[in-house]
Each structure stands twice: as C-alpha cells, then as structure tokens.
Amino acid sequence: MTGRTGRAPTLDEVAERAGVSRSAASRVINNANHVSPATRRAVERAVRDLGYVPNVTAQALARQRVGAVVLAASHDNAELFGDPFFGQVIVGVTSALENTDLDLKLLLCHSERGHDRVRRMLRRPRADGVMVMALRGDDPLQRMVEESGLPAVYGGRPLHGQPAWYVDVDNRGGGRSAAEHLVGLGRRRVASIAGPTDSHAAVARQDGVADALSAARLDPTLVEHADFTRDGGARAMERLLERAPDLDAVAVASDNMAVGAVQVLRRGGRRVPQDVAVVGYDDLPVAQLAQPALTTVQQPIRALGYEMARLLLAVVAGEEPSSLLLPTRLVVRDSAPVAVPAHGA
C-alpha cells in the first residue's frame, strides 16, 4: 500500500498519524520495551492504516547491541570534564558501569561540529543509550536525542519538555533551604546570585530562594544572574553592591560563584560573615578550602551520575524504571554559621 502521493509511507507520517514523536514511533516499530501501552497501540494502528512497511535492515541494526553508552553534554569547552562537578558525575557513571561490558563515550556538543558528531553517532547508531547533561534553553542536543529513538536518561531536567527518564536534584528545595538559613540568622537584606536563565537547575534554585524570602515577607527581587564561574560570581556581586550597598546576605547558585562573590566583598571591606553572610551551592572541594569555608547546599553529585547510568541500564534492558529526584542538605560552615558575630562587632 502506498501513501497519498503514490509512494511508500514514511516513519514521519506514521508518527504524525499516531500523534506521537518520531522517536516514539521508531521505538514501537523496532519493538522496544520502553514504550507506554497507549503509544504502542496508537503507532500500531497508524502502521495498519497507512500500510507502513518497516525497513528490515534498519530493524536488524536497531536490535543489535553496540556495547557502548554515551554521556553527552551541551558545552563548548573541553575543560568541562575537568570541572569538579562533572568529574564527580563521571565517577558515579563509571561506578555504575563497572560490572558491565559497556564502554563509556564522552561527548561535548555545543558547536556545530560537535552536533554533527553526536548526530552521526546516534543515527548509525554507535551507542545503546544516551545520558544527557548541561542542557540549556531550546537545545538542539535534546531534539537529536529524541529523534534518535535510543533510550535516553537526562541528568537534570531540560528547561522545556518532560523526558521519559531523568535523574534530578531537588534544586528548588535546595535554594529554599539556603535562603531560609539566612533569614533564620536574622538577615533582612538578602540578595541572590542566580545562574543562567536558560538552565532548569538555575531557575529552580532561584525559585526556591524567592519562595523563602517571600514567605518571610522580604524582597525577593535583589537578584543578579551569572554563569557558574568564579568570575561570573564576582561580577554579579559587584553589580549587587552597586544596587544595594546595605545588603547583609547573599544566596549564591554555585560554590564557584560564591568564592568570586566573597573575594569582591572582602576587597570592598565587607566582612564575611559579620557584615554579609554567604551561602553557596554544590559542596564542591572549593567550599571547604575557601576563606572563610563556605556554608553551602550539598547536592549528591556522584549519586546523580550513578543513578543516571543505573536508570539507563534498566531502560536498555527493557524495564520501565521511575525517574528520580535526589535530596539536598545544608552544610553550615564559617561563611554563614549559626552563631554569627553581631554586624557591627
């Protein structure tokens, strides 16, 4: 049977008829297990209605195990994998894969060349599944992964859409606990240094800070955004001091940014924590090494990587695992201790 134009119907037409994505239609046609019953019924009905005939060679290739999984990050700098955060994620991923025969491939794909490399790997395919990190905004990496039809687990939810499987951290709860701690110290002019507005994690952390400040009837709008770097935090702190020289606390969306913020405060003659209390986020090694040591929101970074890989192994095996939201906890150190010397002392 042929389509409306006299040619054989395509996979895209099947997906359109079924009201699902191309990747979902591909998974049904390739008899993958990680598909909901409703999606499977809709696609099978569309296949019958259109008379779609799958490519037997492509199906055979789809059923073959490649013996590798991909950890792909939407980033333009190879130094990303030397960052302590991503280093811990990779440690977690490799520990989950340790007793398997799967190889791990690391890919950066922010540039056009990187996108082409990922596209080739996913189309052939050269991987059995994908773990996706560091998505920003309307990221082409997300579309490429969805269109591939490969099992995919997201490390942190994307800003747009809801993936079938993800491992995320309770970023909103973490941001809330940081601001609640500062409010509990008696601080009333609480500012925040938030991450990029195209990052789901950054937005959620700032939402948590705003929740706590609003609940305490404090102004939640004293905010500056920056990238997750020391220099970005320093520049944001300078802008905040220009806007509100009387601020007495800062909730910062990463430890790296918090270190930059503390440096600016100290250069400006502000004592931490006496004049300005500071709370970071992540609990990276730099938090303990900073002067003063950072009070921070600890997120389980290594567990994030481990659970991403564990979920992906389950999906590749045809199981239907549940997505995870990992907890955070506040670690109190010298930058915002419980017993803070009086402001003027």
Residue with tokens 């696609």: 43
| Residue 342 pLDDT > 80 | no
Radius of gyration of the chain (CA): 24
Please state whether the predicted TM-score (pTM) of the whole model is above 0.85: no
Sheet holding 223-225, edge to edge: 223-225, 190-194, 249-252, 277-282, 295-298, 329-331
Domain residue ranges in the chain: 11-62, 66-169+302-327, 171-299
- Cβ atoms of 327 and 300 closer than 8 Å: yes
Matching fold, domains 11-62 and 66-169+302-327: no
CATH number of the domain located at residue range(s) 11-62 in this protein? 1.10.260.40
pLDDT of 84 reads 81
Residues 209-252 pLDDT 10s:
999 999 999 999 999 999 999 999 999 999 999 999 999 999 99
DSSP letter at 165 equals S
Query: Is the model more confident about 50 or about 300?
Result: 300
pLDDT of 122 reads 74
**Cis, bond preceding 321 (omega within 30 deg of 0):** no
The CATH class given to the 66-169+302-327 domain equals alpha beta
Closest CA to 195 of 248, 156, 247, 232: 232
Residues 104-158 pLDDT 10s:
988 877 666 767 777 777 776 678 889 998 677 777 788 888 877 888 999 998 8
Task: Take residue 245 and report the two structure tokens written for it.
Answer: 């020289």
What is the pairing mode between strands 68-73 and 249-252? unpaired
CATH number of the domain located at residue range(s) 171-299 in this protein? 3.40.50.2300
Q: What is the mean pLDDT of the chain?
A: 86
